[in-house]
A and B are shown apart, each in its own frame.
Chain A
Amino acid sequence: MTQIVYTTGIENSPYPILHRSQWHINANGSVGTLTLQSTDNLTLTGSVIFDDAPREDMIQGGWDDVGRRIAFTRTIPDGTLQFFEGFLGDIRAAQLIFAGKLTDSVNPQGVSGWAAFSPILIV
């Protein structure tokens, strides 16, 4: 099973318990940071911040471990929804990737590529 988030931190310490992972993302050529949070490795929430749109947009979606598939929706302030679907690349366990396609509610026929990379996160 692939854990897409890591449990980190120590109780009663400056480092709170977190169930999350951080990924370097390239979505249609825009790069940024994707944060995934999940307590069951099935449903996920989180956020994405892009260098060319430096604000935090919430995401929510799910992870299908058997299907190696991640899907999540990004809500943009103007009301547009972006739909991300990606598949795992895990030949190198310490350097996981997701890659796939994204569409949006404004132009559902327009498809772009996206990918995200994560080393094993320590905290």
Chain B
Amino acid sequence: MTNISGNWRINANGSQGFLILESQDNVSFTGSIRLDETAERGDAIQGTWNDAGRTINFNRPLPDGSTQFYTGFLGDNHAENLILAGTITDTVNPGTFAGWVASPLQESATYVLSIDNLHCNQTRDTISLPEFTGRDTDYGALVTQVLTQVGYGEVLDQKQSIGSVHHGEDHALDLQLTVRLQANESLTFSYLFINSGFQGSGAQETGQFLDKLSGAVRDALNVAYPAEKVIWEALNDLTLGLNQLQFSGCDGIVAGDKITFTAAELDQLMPVAGARHVETREYNRYDHQLPCQTPDYTVTWSFTRQ
């Protein structure tokens, strides 16, 4: 028997939120639904659960007087991936249907993902005055997205203007995002660092430039690229997304990646609050044009479990 009472996450027609079901007899129930798009209110619901038929039905009256009707079916091949999924219709357009899915709310862990350090072993630039050595001007962006049991979460991003970078230098960064993960969810993050001679004269121009950079990194979350290609080269081949970043001279990518962790993997790496996982990756395979140089950078990033 499936106990229907409890707290659920729901995705109703693409809008995510929470569903609360309360039942004394596991047949009839009341509860509420609160969706992100209308988070200022929770709507009362009432309905029935047919355990033998694996079917749930409930009504959601809306403030405008209309009523939504939810019908769903159990999916329980694997208890850890249990879902209710089905259709929504309403009194306004009774012949029109949308999809919905719900999954039991589980304990979650919170992680802070941080890009901590950018180290330059070799600039793209060959020589600049007055240093008489290579000088890159770097910008970075970090983007992350969680795949939950009821759909993809919002894309979160951070970006930073790093400034002048020379051989051998370390640059502490302030790119941090906080994510919550339930069991059986996964997290994908992408980061990109570029050298650009972009000469923005004001905060607004720099902000627009960083927005374009962040947009390109968002694209990378979903790019499916050939294994032999570095992700950013493949992405640029396909979308030309980086071209709008005003590359010229020795401008170009100096470091970038796309990485996925499951909740189980993160839990194994950091089983308790306060635990930290640190990785450093080197990037030294990006193309360059003469007389520029092949850039060689390392990026150190970490997860800290809260």
Contact = CB atoms under 8 A, between A and B. Distances in A.
Contact of A26 (B75, B225, B234): B75
Given A29-B79, A87-B98, A123 B73 contact: no
Contacts of A91: 13-15, 37
B73 A113 contact: yes
Interface string B65-91: 000000011111111011111111000
Most interface-central of A8, A24, A91, A113 (chain B CB within 10 A): A113
A112 interface: yes
Nearest to A9: B238
Interface string A18-57: 0000101011111100000000000000000000100000
A29 B229 CA distance: 34
Contact of A15 (B88, B101, B238): B238
A22 B226 CA distance: 16
Contacts of B235: 122
Interface stretch (B22-30, B112-120, B145-153, B291-299): B145-153
A9 to B, nearest CB: 7
**Interface secondary structure of A, over-half rule:** strand
Contacts of A112: 54, 73-76
B188 to A, nearest CB: 10
A120 to B, nearest CB: 6
B226 A117 contact: no
Please classify how large the interface on chain A is, using the bins under 10, 10 to 19, 20 to 34, 35 or more.
35 or more
Contacts of A13: 237
Interface stretch (B41-49, B172-180, B201-209, B216-224): B216-224
Contacts of B99: 86-89, 97-100, 115
Interface string A89-120: 11110111111110000000011111101111
A100 B145 contact: no
A101 B222 contact: no
A99 B74 CA distance: 12
Given A14-B226, A113-B72, A119-B221, A52 B98 contact: no
Contacts of A68: 96-98
Contact of A22 (B79, B86, B98, B224): B224
Given A26-B83, A86-B99, A99-B85, A122 B222 contact: yes
Contacts of B158: none
Most interface-central of A28, A29, A89 (chain B CB within 10 A): A89
Interface of A: 8-10, 13-15, 22, 24, 26-31, 52, 67-69, 86-92, 94-101, 110-115, 117-123
Interface of B: 11-15, 37, 53-55, 72-79, 81-88, 96-101, 145, 147, 149-152, 155, 184, 219-226, 229, 234-235, 237-239
29 contacts: A9-B238, A14-B229, A15-B238, A27-B77, A28-B74, A29-B75, A29-B76, A29-B77, A29-B83, A30-B78, A52-B78, A88-B98, A89-B13, A89-B14, A89-B98, A99-B85, A99-B101, A100-B85, A100-B99, A110-B54, A112-B76, A113-B74, A113-B75, A113-B85, A115-B99, A117-B147, A117-B150, A122-B235, A123-B238
